[in-house]
Structure 1
Amino acid sequence: MESKFLFLINLLVLQYLAVLCVSQDFDFFYFVQQWPGSYCDSGKSSCCYPTTGKPAADFGIHGLWPNYNDGSYPQNCDPNNPFDESKISDLISNMRRNWPTLACPSGSGETFWSHEWEKHGTCSESVFDQHSYFETTLGLKQQTNLLQALKTAGIKADGRTYSLGDIKDAIKEGTGYTPWIECNQDSSGNSQLYQVYLCLDNSGSSLIECPVFPKGKKCGSEIEFPVF
């Protein structure tokens, strides 16, 4: 009887430690937004407008990604919690506006959102369920309002070239935090503003200065901001 009791106690301790490890299994989030004009004017990726029509000329959400301070990240953490559109039915119209898909073939967004939840969102289950994951991310887009921050600094999506430093300064002025800018190349090989990374604390409640920046392709000192 005593050995059975000890076994149960050990089992409970292990379960507690497992929950504790899950709840602390990432250090911060990357909140990533992309400029559709750069996605579509790239020699490397195909661009198809959603079945609901061409998105607005605004930054669209790419995702909210748990990350470690060493630059690595968890992924595909819970295959038993697949994307379920019925859980976010009240957010769909907002997501189609602010989290549009540009992948080919054309879709309504569900495949994109499913990928983001299953690869990244399931690794944040200690903080978010599906609804709060998407709702929080939509709120971050409104809070940061990148396009307005750039417009305020006189930086517009007009196909002209701008200083990378001016773009970073404008976003920091508008959001309060230092961004990391990812560039891609247009069909002529010119560097262009593609994605903007900001960071969120691991409680999912506050923007923070990024503990580490991605190791992706860096931009030149002058980059294009293409029309969309």
Structure 2
Amino acid sequence: MKFVLLTIAYFLARVSAAQSVFASDCPSDSPESCTTSNSASCCFEAPGGVLLQTQFWDYSPATGPSDLFTLHGLWPDNCDGTYQQFCDNSVTIPNDGSTIQDILVNQFNDQGLYDNLSNVWKDINGNDRSLWAHEWNKHGTCINTINPSCYSNYQTHEDVYDYYKTLYNLYESLPTYQWLVNAGITPSNSKTYTYDQIQQALSSNFGQDVYFKCDSNNAINEIWYFHHIKGSLLQHNFVPIAPLSNSNCPSSGILFPPKSGSGGGGDDDTPAPKPTTTTTSGPAPTGVPSAGYIDLSGKPGCLISNGKYYTSGTCATYHFAESSFGGVTITSSKGGCGVNSSTKEFTCSSSVDASQNQFQIKNGNIGFGGNYDWCLGSSSGSGSTAQTAVKLSDGSCSSFKLNPVSK
């Protein structure tokens, strides 16, 4: 009997080992993300199968070298354009980025990577390390193929190091400034360019159309390169794809201002456009009140302080604050507001960390993870005093918008 049990145990161990493929051992012909229904594994990125490499052109005040679009981050968006955020608190690092130099230089002996990132990964307010930490905590923790379980001999923070190394290498392969200049698109305070000129300069090098965004001056200020990926992030097998977002830039009259105070790149002495700022997590929120109610489009009533829908009584006052690196936090008298990871319901309580539940407010609508459609969920009580949950739409229900209304 003992021999039989040992034989069974050995067989099960061999089967388990055969099924455990670490990220470094993924086959070269791994399927491309978002093209199959494969479940998430160390060799298949899901649900965040669209990898965005994002860059900024902050020109006033000038941020970063005068001849570079600065690095922003690497975002794993879902295949439908929505996204997850702050996915794994067990691997986050301090928000101030105070441990990053130690991780890169002392733990993984990569002074070169740290120096390179210091040159190109810039925050407009000078909080560079905080930006780096934010990008890992919000986006990097959602990349499942570098989960600690995907390493054969995981070292603490190895996933953090690999994320930073990968995003820098990908950024280096996408020299936006050089591609534009090679096409005759150079920084100027007066000369303008067409959408087609910019798109052609970028897409002819990238292999797919590229998303670029303009600020209120019609000046180009963000570039997003969309990819699928084959296998693990560690294999760096990125596949360029067409953008899932539509540019807000006009068909003509697009500015490419030199970075103010750089003394280079401009072709005249025309004053630069008025200063503008750039958020660091997607399109800039518009119509963000400091405090107000939350209404449901086309429905009577509003949300009460716990985040539930109520058709009578007093509407709760919500407070809205734009986060340091983009996104909007929402709080009520009950505490922080967020979206429950399992039920997808909007909820507010003292147990919710608002900083890890960043919403978007765009065109007067509240969204979460890129989804601006909401539905009614389960109810408690009856009649006019019933409280009904509000949840993110999954496309199978009659949806509406959530609208912040200033007090």
TM-score (norm 2): 0.44
CA drift at 1:26: 1.5
CA drift at 1:207: 3.6
2:54 match: 32
CA drift at 1:127: 3.3
CA distance in 1, matches of 2:192, 2:208: 23
| Ranges in structure 1 where 5+ consecutive residues have no aligned partner | 1-11, 41-46
Select between 91-100 and 112-121 the one with higher mean Cα deviation.
91-100
**Matching residue's letter, 1:201:** H
Q: Give yes or no for the alignment of 1:149 onto 2:171.
A: no
CA distance in 2, matches of 1:141, 1:218: 23
Note the 1:37-48 alignment, pairs <5 A: 37=59, 40=60, 47=61
| Ranges in structure 2 where 5+ consecutive residues have no aligned partner | 1-15, 21-38, 94-98, 148-158, 260-407
Larger Rg: 2
CA drift at 1:81: 1.0
2:166 match: 136
| Change in CA separation of 1:211 and 1:77 when aligned onto 2, cut-off 3 Å | farther
Q: Give yes or no for the alignment of 1:56 onto 2:72.
A: no
Note the 1:75-90 alignment, pairs <5 A: 75-83=85-93, 84-85=99-100, 86-89=102-105, 90=110
Note the 1:74-113 alignment, pairs <5 A: 74-83=84-93, 84-85=99-100, 86-89=102-105, 90=110, 91-103=113-125, 106-107=126-127, 109-113=128-132
**Matching residue's letter, 2:138:** K
Q: Give yes or no for the alignment of 1:117 onto 2:136.
A: yes
CA drift at 1:175: 2.5
| Greater per-residue helix proportion | 1
CA distance in 2, matches of 1:207, 1:149: 19
Select between 122-131 and 132-141 the one with higher mean Cα deviation.
122-131
State the secondary structure of the residue aligned to 1:197: strand
CA distance in 2, matches of 1:145, 1:193: 15
CA distance in 1, matches of 2:40, 2:176: 36
**Matching residue's letter, 2:58:** P
User: Which deviations, in whole Å up to 9, do the C-alpha atoms of 1:150-182 show, x marking residues without a partner?
Assistant: 111000112221111110110112232321111
CA drift at 1:126: 1.9
CA drift at 1:23: 5.1
CA drift at 1:211: 5.4
2:384 match: none
| Change in CA separation of 1:100 and 1:196 when aligned onto 2, cut-off 3 Å | same
Note the 1:188-207 alignment, pairs <5 A: 190-202=217-229, 203-204=232-233, 205-207=236-238
Q: RMSD across aligned C-alpha pairs, in angstroms?
A: 2.7
Q: Give yes or no for the alignment of 1:227 onto 2:227.
A: no
| Greater per-residue strand proportion | 2
Q: Is the 8 A contact 1:66 1:124 kept in 2?
A: yes
CA distance in 1, matches of 2:90, 2:144: 12
CA distance in 1, matches of 2:238, 2:123: 25
| Change in CA separation of 1:33 and 1:152 when aligned onto 2, cut-off 3 Å | same
CA drift at 1:59: 0.3
CA drift at 1:183: 1.1
Q: Is the 8 A contact 2:136 2:160 kept in 1?
A: yes
CA drift at 1:184: 1.0
Flag the structure with more relative contact order, 1 or 2, with Cα contacts below 8 A and sequence separation at least 6: 1
Q: Is the 8 A contact 1:149 1:173 kept in 2?
A: no
